[in-house]
Amino acid sequence: MIGGSGLSAGIELENAQAIQVNSPFGLPSGMVTTGTLHGVRFSFLARHGAGHRIPPSDLNYRANIDVLKRCGVTDVLSLSAIGSLREEMAPGHFTMVDQFIDRTHGRENSFFGTGLVAHVSLADPVCPRLSQLAMEAARATGATVHPAATYVAIEGPQFSTRAESRMYRGWGADVIGMTAMPEARLAREAELPYAVLGMVTDYDSWRDFGAAVEVSHVLEVMEHNAQLARAAVEEFARRLPAEREASPIDTTLDNALVTPQNLRDPALVMKLDAIARRLFGERY
């Protein structure tokens, strides 16, 4: 689970412990809280760090995904605050995200690079199995949950202008946020099924009669949404099957690496000891 700093505090994990996990990609947002919930092993990471101290552009997305992989995580569910670009997706509602438009820039968006090139498919960027489970769990708590939405990821930290907001609507985007990219890209490279349960906090600035987005109103709605989100996580844990089925995402890298083994940069390969351990093993 990747979410707000207050998410794990309201969930009663058994044998909970906060651990510092190091990453060759730098410092993650903070410590990882691990424990069990209804018999299922969970790891929580506060995306913006304790006290929400890291802005979206400064998040070390690579380190965050890397440390979760090192903790033995097999699937990632993201809880994210989002703005709505559609009248029917009202503040207080939830939505599952199934597509992305990436408008971020300057963020490290791949674990691979010069010395080891990989091209993964991102046509379908979220895991439908994980999304379905999360949607059913959230609906069981009484939340209104929309089954699909296209998420436009902007750089931030400022909210969008009215002209931008209307342009994103014209592109077919349904919701807007600042953090799901490159998070979703990196999860796919790490062979981690990924889903986003978006918490609608406001209407973005596209409505002629609507007020501008104000953080005070966003935080007010977020407080209510967080209560529902914690209940949804509890229900999500109860609904997980006794045994996790194999996913095509588990083997994403099988046909993605294009650099021959004899030309790969050993230093970069070593940094991928968690991300691509399944392929590299102890050979390096």
Catalytic site residue from 66, 174, 202, 254: 202
Q: Say whether 250 is catalytic.
A: no
Q: Say whether 58 is catalytic.
A: no
Q: What is the C-alpha separation between 204 and 173, in angstroms, rounded?
A: 12
Q: List the structure tokens of 9.
A: 């505090």
3-class state of residue 63 by DSSP: helix
Of 253, 23, 279, the C-alpha closest to 117 is 253
Q: State how far Cα 156 lies from the chain centre.
A: 17
- CB contact at 8 A, 119 and 19: no
- CB contact at 8 A, 177 and 83: yes
Catalytic site residue from 204, 254, 265, 273: 204
Q: State how far Cα 16 lies from the chain centre.
A: 22
Counting beta carbons within 10 angstroms of the beta carbon of residue 263, is it exposed (0 to 12), middle (13 to 18) or buried (19 or more)?
exposed
Catalytic residues, which ones? 202, 204
